[in-house]
Amino acid sequence: MSNNLIPPESIRTWVGPFKDADVFTKSGQQTFNILKEYANISPSQTILDAGCGCGRVALLLLHFLSDAGKYYGFDICPEHIDWCKKNISVSFPDFHFAHVDVKKKLYNPNGKYQLKEMTLPYSENMFDIVYAHSLFTHMVDHEMKYYINELSRVIKPTGTFYASYYLINSKTAEGVRKGTASFNFTHSIGECYTFDPENPEEGIAQSETFVRKIYDNCGFNIIEPIHYSDWDRIGIPDQDFIIAKRIK
């Protein structure tokens, strides 16, 4: 990958522990590999990257998508979208990036809109696949619910939905209780949990029961089993992920 397509450190470190550019690239490759293995991503699809950041996964799709394929990504951080437009879209016109100007304390404090005023800038039934990696790990329960409902609107019937989480269930709750988990999700906020009650969007774990309910209400069928990581053990920060199909 060309060095001019690697975002600068000041941009990379907004989306993760990516001071090292190689770690950033490998992280994108890991998510791309999951999409190929579990979500059946293919070169001719129309794809939506929900919470695309500064192109962590988009960069892996540049030479994967065929002429029939199209990529769309959105994020609430204007700096990320500006970088992607100036460095990716200019050479790859089928890669479209949109700033969704929703107000959020840590990531877009000067946003123009409240979440309830937001509609994603895409038409109904537009996408073959939607993926949201580490998006809902920074949203409280009602925010997650709103986004999943919007994503269900824009994905095609039978389309594939990939999303990653820290899921609270009996196993992970026990790890948090014992102090063996990688994150101390001990502070509850509605149906979710955080390790920082002052700045909860730094890291959020969602109740698995609640997530299942939201998927059902929004017309998604979870393809079992859910893919659990071992984040309830110290030193393993990998996220759980769910593959689902839109059924209504």
- What confidence category does residue 4 fall into, taking pLDDT thresholds of 50, 70 and 90? confident
Where is pLDDT greater, at 14 or 229? 229
Q: How far apart are CA 153 and CA 219, in angstroms?
A: 10
Asked whether the predicted pLDDT for residue 1 surpasses 70, the reply is no
Percentage with pLDDT > 70 across the chain? 99
Asked whether the predicted pLDDT for residue 3 surpasses 80, the reply is no
What mean pLDDT value characterizes the chain? 96
pLDDT tens, residue by residue, 25-71: 999 999 999 999 999 999 999 999 999 999 999 999 999 999 999 99
What b/e string do you get for 78-102 counting C-beta neighbours within 10 Å, with b at 16 or more?
eebbebbeebbbeebebbbbbbbeb
Q: Radius of gyration of the chain from Cα atoms?
A: 17
Q: Pairing relation of β-strands 155-165 and 127-132?
A: parallel
Nearest 5°: the CA angle 1, 134, 100 is 85
What would the CATH number be for the domain defined by 24-166+207-246?
3.40.50.150
Average pLDDT over residues 16-24: 95
Complete DSSP assignment for 112-147: SB-GGG---SS-TT-EEEEEESSSGGG--HHHHHHH
Long-range pairs, 215-219, Cβ under 8 A, ≥24: 215/148, 215/242, 215/244, 218/148, 218/149, 218/151, 218/152, 219/152, 219/246, 219/247, 219/248
**Cβ atoms of 202 and 106 closer than 8 Å:** yes
Asked whether the predicted pLDDT for residue 124 surpasses 70, the reply is yes
Average pLDDT over residues 149-165: 98
Asked whether the predicted pLDDT for residue 73 surpasses 60, the reply is yes
| pLDDT for the residue 2 | 57
Q: Within 10 A of 244 (CB to CB), how many other CB atoms are there? A: 24
Q: How far apart are CA 247 and CA 113, in angstroms?
A: 30
Q: Position 231: which residue type?
A: W
Q: Pairing relation of β-strands 192-194 and 187-189?
A: antiparallel
Asked whether the predicted pLDDT for residue 86 surpasses 80, the reply is yes
| pLDDT for the residue 192 | 98
| pLDDT for the residue 209 | 98
Average pLDDT over residues 102-110: 91
- For 15, residues 6+ apart whose C-beta sits below 8 A from its C-beta are 53, 54, 56, 80, 134
- For 33, residues 6+ apart whose C-beta sits below 8 A from its C-beta are none
